Structure 1
């Protein structure tokens, strides 16, 4: 039975707005094992979760964040995957573009992109956000043309204006179509806006909320990793 590892990179826990502060100093830049997991063999594949504080599991134990829950599902199926949690609180699309090269120095077989929410909450022009996300995707594909790309769609609050919220949602659809990505329409489906599934800030999911997020994502990942 494969014994898979979960690696945490650039995990910070200071937040502002939906997904963190502007402080992008890494608090942890080292491998961390969860439970009794160990590094897998050379024949294993890698899933990289690349996102902001939602991916990082802000306010929770790291083992409660959805990437760790995905790893547990993978373990239950005895599949040979290493999971890397590269979530960073406060990350924007431009910040992600600035650090992606370092992360893809190793081979990545499945790339899950969860960025853009902080851009939206800050009212960054969507043309800039889409350009940055496309550049990240291009870099990942250039490193490994066979990589499976998964895009986690997000939404912004209606107070951003109807036009902006509609265009924001459409941005993810356009990126997915243009790059033949697997699109998760709304990662926080069933969680966003529910006070019982979010922390006191009303934005970041609780441990129970992350379980639902993991299930949402697993519907799209399961056919890929089996």
Structure 2
């Protein structure tokens, strides 16, 4: 990925105001420098998250309907005091309130790239989820990874899910970048997600940070990771597409 939200959730076409885009550019640059300068922290986070995933995998299977959120720090709930406040946890609250009987599994890893996701999908998909939400690509964009490589990795992940868990419904979450990455790159990057969704005939969230990205009051001090309030809006955006699949 409510107290202040209507049960009927809304989505909007993704857009940034110019002032927000400029501010978001500086934030993205700062985050990239931070990510590159703290590799040890990233590795620690990945280890801790993997441990959590192992616990989830080995836990008794009491429900046969699951929604697996496979992503990066946005999914993992980076920087939150309680990771249940991240959008997957909020989705679980909504599902429970509607007595839908799904378990939401948070399989987010902070700092994860599409290449990293590709390397762990074979293990993760053994859980054979009912719904697989794919939220990866932002860190590729921050590092300037060739769009063709991001596209190939995302397609490889989708292929594994379709092959090893053919009954699983796939939802692809789109990501966008600020213009300081270059007009050509940002346009191609944005298009990758919509193209993959169309080519694979899977559900699509145009921009998972819709109405959150670049808005200071909805993000943490780093200016890019959603705070608790921001994650509630992310959950709304996700639910608008996910809801019809599980209702």
TM-score range, shorter chain: 0.7 to 0.9
Distance 1:184 1:88 in 2: 20
The structure with higher relative contact order (CA 8 Å, sep 6+) is: 2
After the TM superposition, which parts of structure 1 deviate over 6 Å for at least 4 consecutive aligned residues?
A: none
Report the CA distance between 1:158 and its aligned residue: 0.8
Q: Which residue of 1 is the match for residue 111 of structure 2? A: 90
| Paired residues for 1:1-226 under 5 Å | 16-17=31-32, 22=39, 23-24=42-43, 25-28=46-49, 29-30=51-52, 31=55, 41-42=62-63, 44-60=64-80, 61-226=82-247
What is the RMSD of the two structures over their aligned residues, measured on CA atoms?
A: 2.0
TM-score, structure 2 normalization: 0.79
Q: More helix by proportion, 1 or 2? A: 2
Cα displacement (A) at 1:17 = 2.6
For 1:107 and 1:197, how far apart are their aligned partners in 2? 33
Q: Work out whether residues 84 and 90 of structure 2, in 8 Å CA contact, stay in contact via their aligned partners in 1.
A: yes
Shift of 1:75: 0.2
Is the partner of 2:47 in helix, strand or coil? coil
1:4-44 alpha-carbon deviations (Å, 9 max, x no partner): xxxxxxxxxxx953995643441141347xxxxx96634x3
Provide the C-alpha distance between the structure 2 equivalents of 1:218 and 1:117, rounded to a whole number of angstroms. Answer: 20
Find the aligned partners of 1:160 and 1:77 in 2 and give their Cα distance: 42
Q: What SS does the aligned partner of 2:126 have?
A: coil
**Mapped partners of 2:60, 2:96: distance in 1:** 13
Please list every run of 5 or more consecutive structure 1 residues that lacks an aligned counterpart in the other structure: 1-14, 33-37
**TM superposition score normalised by structure 1:** 0.86
